[in-house]
Structure 1
Amino acid sequence: MSHVVQLRNRGVGTPMRAVLALAILWCGYPLVPQGAVRDGVYDAFALACIAVGFWGASRLPSRVRGRWMVVLAGFGCWVLGDAVFSLEQHVFDIDFYPAPSDAAYLAAYVVLACGLLRLMRSAATRSELTPLLDAAIVTAGSGIVVATFFIAPIASDSTLGLPGRIVASAYPAADVLLIGVLVSLWTMAGLHVGAYRLLLLALLAMLAADVVWNVIAMRNPEALTPAWLDQLWLLGYLAAAGAACSRSAARVNRPPRSDHPVSARTRMLALGCGLMLPGLTLFLDALFRHHVPWQLVSVGSVVLSTLVLVRMGLLLKTVEVQAVRLAALARNDALTGAPNRRTWDHELGRAVRRARDGDGGLCIALIDLDHFKRYNDEFGHQAGDRLLRGAVAAWSAVLEPEELLARYGGEEFGLLLPGCDAGEAARRLRDMQKRMPEGQTFSAGVVVARPELDPEALVALADRALYDAKHAGRACVRVADDRFSEEALPAVDIALKPIVDLESGRQVGDRACSSFDEGTAESVLAGAYRDGYGPELESALVRAVLRRPRAGYRAVPLSAEALHSPLVRAELAGDLSGVVLEIASPTEAASLTGLEDVLSDLKARGARIAVSNWGSGYFDGERLARAQADAVRLDLSHLQDLLREDREAVMRASVRWAHERGVKIGIVNVVTPQDWEMAADLRFDFAQGSYFDDPSAHLTTPSTVAE
């Protein structure tokens, strides 16, 4: 195979070496004496260029060979016209106009345009009007210039007959056509291959030479062609031959590397020049001629304006389509095509608000594919992707238009079912279960929306139901109990213990103390969080405590973890005046991270924040500030070591530090009058303990405290 490639490379290189040899001869063309000899050399050189071009094109692959042959045939018609023109001048001495050579010259434009259009169709990546409109705008602007300075004077030239005026006008008109084709080729194909660059050079050289010659002929019809102008035409033939012989000529049917081969800035520059040409035409005509062809300029300006409006319309349409696509990309999951998490959050909020306003019921479901990781490990990630896409396609086929299936994350999906009750939602999910591809299954949790719960709390309930479905053996649907049935939670006894003002001896509130049959409150809560139902347990405790009537403050113990849960925050909705939330966390203070806004909202609705275990290692000054605490609770049993004579000053300084910041201090486990006296002597504010629990006890301030 490598030998074939080497032979092919050598075959393509041979015509290119001939082009390089012709380029050397081209440099010496100005040395040829003027007259019949120069004309003969000109014709021979042009013919040699076209012959070499056909030689190179014949070695190209069949898919592009015919296109290059047509392009070279167009240049060949110009060579034929040059040869006939030389015979007319030096052999037959023809002096009438139009002459036979004009037929070959004009035919060249038609053949060349056909060949270039075939090349453009092979290079274009898409069929759209934008590149053609850009070319039409530049062509229309150029046409106004050509019509004003070339066609209009020719049409009014009385020395030419009607055929002469028609043929003479056809040349600049054909040049305008060539400009349009050239711009189309540039905008659609760009300059991504060398063959295009050489071909554009050839066309620009021929076009520039034509324009210069038309200007010279208009000023002096008897003028002879200068050598440098002949050399410019010959450069066009040479570049065309080089384009057909280059190795990149075989790649012209490949699309450019980007959808826009020409940069936006370059395109705007070209369009701007085209738009300025009518105004420039009027300016130059007013300077030099004072014979403005108003009809041509007016019609050209109208055509140009129409093209610009159409171009702007297409641009606006493109922007609208791209905006829709961008919105779809931003709202849909790239893998499955389902709405993504962003869309889910938005639509969930809307659906909950509609249900809250009485616009029908709403069920929210979370779906999780069973053993998806194992499926990925066994069949590969591509198979996992196909499973996700197949599941979404199968489920979407049975959903109503107003229902929403979204990818929640990974192999988990969210489902909104407006107008459904729990039974109907479970039936729909079981029907979706039957449509799972590849024999796979899913687990699902369903919750019925309640007006008092926000979207986050509802999703947490659905997630808890999904957790129950997983633990029930998977491949099933579980409906969340939106009442948090306390029968399913550990048995608890909640007692309200008095809180006493140490200075007056009067009860100012109470503190909820929970006792469980299964162990201490701390151990039961730790086990609940370990087993996944901690927020449910604490939300039930909070609800039970706040439902009881109260006089004065009600202290509600709460873990920092609970405040992260939407379920617990839902129980703390509304006015919280007179409620003291006593935060006790057996974990690091990092559990308070992210709760700043939650704590601020609770305090804004009347709640007071207290922290427990202050000084025992759980809450220091930093944690006190982070919790936005209004009070701290100390355990008397933890203070015995601190009340030694050598450490008592540290304790009193800590109390002063707290009071300076407006923080009240409470003490628990007050058992004897001596405990009361000690707490009062240390300037504590409140106390709670078994000494105050007996309702028959007559609470009087100890004499030492009263004094």
Structure 2
Amino acid sequence: MVAGALRHRGAGRAAWLAFAAGIFGNATGILVEGYNLHVNAEYESPGWADLGYLSLYPAVAAGLVLLIRRRSEGRDWGALVDATTVTTGLGLLAWVFMIRPAVTETGLSPLAHLTGVAYPVGDVLVLAMLTRLLLGGGATSTAYRLIAASACLFLVGDVTWAVLNTIGVEPGPAAHRLLGAVFLLAYVLFGHAALHRSAALIGESAGAPPKLGPGLLVLLTLASLMAPLLLLGQIAAGEVTDALPIAICSIVLFLLVVIRMAQLLRQLEAQTARVRQLSRTDELTGLPNRRAWNAELPAAVERARRDGAGLAVAMLDLDHFKRFNDEYGHPAGDRLLKSAAAAWSEQLRGTDHLARYGGEEFIALLPGADTGEAVRVLRRLMTATPLGQTFSAGLAQWDGAETSDELVARADAALYEAKRAGRDRVEVARRPAADAQPPATDARLTPR
């Protein structure tokens, strides 16, 4: 494992060295116990071997923490709450079947009690970090899966020993060899993970967190039901021995479920707001799209009617845009649309609104502007148009009575007049027939 950590120069090197330290300590415990058995024909716990065995847990937990920090972009509170929920439920199991029996066992020294409790507590610690890592999402490389499998094997071996001790069964030689094979396989998987070519990538950011899928929901449900199920089991057995831990765990699990629901509601609200924003925003230019314009213009007309203020609408069309696309390519055409939208937005007044109407057509809403002010605004836009391009525009002044659709239709008709007249100009729309006036020919602009 040290050789693998030194060979790979990825972000997870510190985690591999922490794993190596834990495996070294655990293997040293085996060596010490084997030496005592060889010299004294027996080994009494607690002893120096337990110190080596127990060093596995903080070292592996530290390595997992390093991987979690490397793989997470910011703090993934959802994964943290999920991992805490699973750990709390399984931690209650550990208390009932492993920790409490070690605490209440009679005839042992305080050091023996402490040692007996340290093993299941270490298992819960590793389980908590492993759960958080697995729920964090991201790419699951071969080295990643091997680490998870190895940690799970250590937990399986420890739990098996704890269960055998709790029920008072002394495993025979065959069972000893089988359990030894479990731990040996855990060592081999850790070593193989460290030497695998994907080991250098294991500390890379995981990106987006995983979704709350069916498998995770089942796991969270089982963890949340752990406390009431244990209580029902003890009631059925005729004696409730863990009422306080079960009550505390039930409260914690309930609060965690409430916190997770609140997180999911906030995520749903944020996604809904995001979808609403995207539905009203043009993806390419970032301007309001036609849907947003169709909602804004009637409201602006009503405000102008209420306040007795002026209102102008201008339709803009980039000249010869298809030819520009054919000559320079569609990516260049997209860049032109984006840069034109940005340049025009900077030239508008604070009260004006610019939207993309479709294709190379844009539409501007100029509240409080008369024809002269609107023409001056469009002159600034024509001067700011990037890449030496020009546009034609049709300008319509609201007459105080027409609908928003009629106002846009007049601006659109004036735009086509400008294009027929040679482009690169603004054409002011004629008034409706009831108060028709001659077109304002002085508004036709050719600024270049």
- TM-superposed deviation, 1:366: 0.6
Task: Say whether the 8 Å CA contact 2:97–2:166 is kept in structure 1.
Answer: no
Q: Which residue of 2 aligns with 1:70?
A: 18
Aligned pairs for 1:100-111 within 5 A? 100-111=48-59
Q: Which residue of 2 aligns with 1:382?
A: 331
- Per-residue CA deviations over 1:578-602 (Å, capped at 9, x if unaligned) read xxxxxxxxxxxxxxxxxxxxxxxxx
SS of residue matched to 2:146: helix
Pair 1:233 & 2:187 matched:
no
Pair 1:443 & 2:389 matched:
no
Identify which range, 102-111 or 183-192, moves more after superposition: 183-192
Q: Which residue of 1 aligns with 2:294?
A: 345
SS of residue matched to 1:445: strand
Q: Which residue of 2 aligns with 1:158?
A: 106
**C-alpha distance in structure 2 between counterparts of 1:101 and 1:400, whole Å:** 78
- Per-residue CA deviations over 1:629-679 (Å, capped at 9, x if unaligned) read xxxxxxxxxxxxxxxxxxxxxxxxxxxxxxxxxxxxxxxxxxxxxxxxxxx
Of the candidates 239, 243, 252, which is equivalent to residue 193 of structure 2? 243
Task: Say whether the 8 Å CA contact 1:120–1:189 is kept in structure 2.
Answer: no
Q: Which residue of 2 aligns with 1:207?
A: 155
Task: Say whether the 8 Å CA contact 1:148–1:293 is kept in structure 2.
Answer: yes
1:144/1:102 CA distance change after superposition, 3 Å = same
Of the candidates 133, 149, 152, which is equivalent to residue 185 of structure 1? 133
SS of residue matched to 1:238: helix
Pair 1:404 & 2:356 matched:
no
Task: Say whether the 8 Å CA contact 1:365–1:416 is kept in structure 2.
Answer: yes
Of the candidates 336, 348, 369, which is equivalent to residue 318 of structure 2? 369
Of the candidates 78, 103, 117, which is equivalent to residue 130 of structure 1? 78
**C-alpha distance in structure 1 between counterparts of 2:190 and 2:338, whole Å:** 52
Q: Which residue of 2 aligns with 1:609?
A: none
**C-alpha distance in structure 1 between counterparts of 2:242 and 2:257, whole Å:** 22
SS of residue matched to 1:437: coil
Task: Say whether the 8 Å CA contact 1:186–1:262 is kept in structure 2.
Answer: no
Q: Which amino acid aligns with 1:68?
A: W
**C-alpha distance in structure 1 between counterparts of 2:51 and 2:169, whole Å:** 20
- TM-superposed deviation, 1:113: 1.0
**C-alpha distance in structure 2 between counterparts of 1:458 and 1:199, whole Å:** 67
- TM-superposed deviation, 1:383: 2.6
- Per-residue CA deviations over 1:406-432 (Å, capped at 9, x if unaligned) read 100111101112222222212222122
Aligned pairs for 1:258-269 within 5 A? 259-261=208-210, 264-269=213-218
Q: Which residue of 1 aligns with 2:402?
A: 453
**C-alpha distance in structure 2 between counterparts of 1:445 and 1:362, whole Å:** 14
Pair 1:416 & 2:396 matched:
no
**C-alpha distance in structure 1 between counterparts of 2:47 and 2:105, whole Å:** 18
**C-alpha distance in structure 2 between counterparts of 1:447 and 1:262, whole Å:** 50
1:322/1:247 CA distance change after superposition, 3 Å = same
**C-alpha distance in structure 2 between counterparts of 1:152 and 1:403, whole Å:** 71
**C-alpha distance in structure 2 between counterparts of 1:434 and 1:278, whole Å:** 72
**C-alpha distance in structure 2 between counterparts of 1:289 and 1:318, whole Å:** 45
Q: Which amino acid aligns with 1:273?
A: L
- Per-residue CA deviations over 1:522-544 (Å, capped at 9, x if unaligned) read xxxxxxxxxxxxxxxxxxxxxxx
**C-alpha distance in structure 1 between counterparts of 2:8 and 2:92, whole Å:** 40
Q: Which amino acid aligns with 1:249?
A: A
Task: Say whether the 8 Å CA contact 1:446–1:465 is kept in structure 2.
Answer: yes
- TM-superposed deviation, 1:126: 5.3
Q: Could you list the runs of 5+ residues in structure 2 that have no partner in the other structure?
A: 440-448
**C-alpha distance in structure 1 between counterparts of 2:227 and 2:54, whole Å:** 27
Q: Which amino acid aligns with 1:441?
A: T
SS of residue matched to 2:430: coil
Pair 1:394 & 2:343 matched:
yes
Pair 1:82 & 2:30 matched:
yes
SS of residue matched to 1:463: helix
Q: Which residue of 2 aligns with 1:591?
A: none
1:88/1:306 CA distance change after superposition, 3 Å = farther
Q: Which residue of 2 aligns with 1:586?
A: none
- TM-superposed deviation, 1:213: 0.7
Q: Which residue of 1 aligns with 2:309?
A: 360
1:421/1:341 CA distance change after superposition, 3 Å = same
Task: Say whether the 8 Å CA contact 1:190–1:262 is kept in structure 2.
Answer: no
> Which of the pair has the greater relative contact order for Cα pairs under 8 Å at 6+ separation?
2
Q: Which amino acid aligns with 1:392?
A: A
1:189/1:92 CA distance change after superposition, 3 Å = farther
- Per-residue CA deviations over 1:294-331 (Å, capped at 9, x if unaligned) read 22222222222222222222222222222222112111
1:395/1:322 CA distance change after superposition, 3 Å = same
Pair 1:274 & 2:210 matched:
no
1:181/1:286 CA distance change after superposition, 3 Å = same
1:287/1:58 CA distance change after superposition, 3 Å = farther
**C-alpha distance in structure 2 between counterparts of 1:449 and 1:200, whole Å:** 69
- TM-superposed deviation, 1:82: 1.7
Q: Which amino acid aligns with 2:218?
A: L
What is the aligned-residue RMSD (CA, Å)? 2.7
1:401/1:282 CA distance change after superposition, 3 Å = farther
**C-alpha distance in structure 2 between counterparts of 1:289 and 1:110, whole Å:** 38
SS of residue matched to 1:192: coil
Pair 1:317 & 2:266 matched:
yes
**C-alpha distance in structure 2 between counterparts of 1:359 and 1:219, whole Å:** 89
Q: Which residue of 2 aligns with 1:141?
A: 89
1:269/1:382 CA distance change after superposition, 3 Å = same
Q: Could you list the runs of 5+ residues in structure 1 that have no partner in the other structure?
A: 1-52, 490-707
Q: Which residue of 1 aligns with 2:444?
A: none
Of the candidates 172, 197, 207, which is equivalent to residue 120 of structure 2? 172
Aligned pairs for 1:573-652 within 5 A? none
Of the candidates 59, 63, 67, which is equivalent to residue 115 of structure 1? 63
Q: Which residue of 1 aligns with 2:424?
A: 475
**C-alpha distance in structure 1 between counterparts of 2:112 and 2:183, whole Å:** 24
Q: Select the structure of larger CA radius of gyration.
A: 1
Q: Which residue of 1 aligns with 2:446?
A: none
**C-alpha distance in structure 2 between counterparts of 1:124 and 1:377, whole Å:** 45
SS of residue matched to 1:220: coil
- TM-superposed deviation, 1:275: 1.0
Higher relative strand content: 1
Pair 1:427 & 2:373 matched:
no
TM-score, scaled relative to structure 1? 0.57
Q: Which amino acid aligns with 1:433?
A: M
Q: Which residue of 2 aligns with 1:670?
A: none
Task: Say whether the 8 Å CA contact 2:76–2:136 is kept in structure 1.
Answer: no
**C-alpha distance in structure 2 between counterparts of 1:85 and 1:282, whole Å:** 39
- TM-superposed deviation, 1:486: 7.0
